[in-house]
A and B are shown apart, each in its own frame.
Chain A
């Protein structure tokens, strides 16, 4: 849930979503869900010469599983907050696994 929460804070920001097929889409993040699917608006393909297919497309939905990277604007990212959240998330997932060892089978 950490990155779902994180991307909710990025709604309204300019991002560049890079897909696993190398297509890169620049746009404003409109919404995100728990699978890290994204809705983007005012989009522009980064390399239009190579990918002219979406010249007339203004909005799109990107399935989370095809995303490789999302480039973000550094001033919009509170890195200290992220690190704290990551530590908290690590602690809570570990506790959950200890409480319910059969959910995710720990080997060691």
Chain B
């Protein structure tokens, strides 16, 4: 999974074989099965956990999950914003796909 683009180019260059390994975006998720992934969700939520299952809607089951919620507090007196994060751990979690924005293998996230 080093270079999806070149693999894709190679696949496009070659004839469409009977066992065509079509490179589609969801392959990125499939190749992350049993790996720890990073998931960015709506509502300023982020998850890190081991991917056990997913489907085409990006519904997922993650294990050993750490959730980070980013909360922006506005002080109306001074009109200043302060950002804080809340962390919690969940051992096994089903995530509904409609809230997903981005999925990435976390080892590569800096």
Residues of chain A whose beta carbon lies under 8 Å from any beta carbon of chain B: 2-3, 6-7, 20, 36, 64-65, 67-74, 77, 79, 82-83, 85-87, 89-90, 93-94, 98, 106, 108
Contact = CB atoms under 8 A, between A and B. Distances in A.
A106 B55 contact: no
Contacts, number: 78
5 contacts: A68-B99, A69-B94, A74-B92, A82-B61, A87-B30
B26 A20 contact: no
B44 interface: no
> Which of B26, B56, B96, B98 has its CB near the most chain A CB atoms (within 10 A)?
B96
A71 B52 contact: no
A31 B34 CA distance: 28
Which of B26, B52, B90: most chain A Cβ within 10 A?
B52
A79 B52 contact: yes
Most buried by B among A71, A74, A82, A86: A86
Given A3-B55, A77-B52, A87-B33, A71 B92 contact: yes
A69 B54 contact: no
B105 interface: no
Query: Taking each of B8, B23, B24, which has the highest tally of chain A beta carbons within 10 Å of its own beta carbon?
Result: B24
Contact of B53 (A3, A64, A73, A106): A3
Given A79-B63, A83-B33, A108-B24, A69 B95 contact: yes
Contacts of B101: none
Q: Which 3 A-B pairs have the closest CB atoms?
A: A70-B94, A82-B53, A86-B53
A67 B56 CA distance: 17
Interface string B16-60: 000010111010001001100000000100000010111110010
Contact of A74 (B20, B63, B94, B98): B63
A64 B98 CA distance: 11
Contacts of A86: 30, 33, 52-55
A87 B33 CA distance: 8
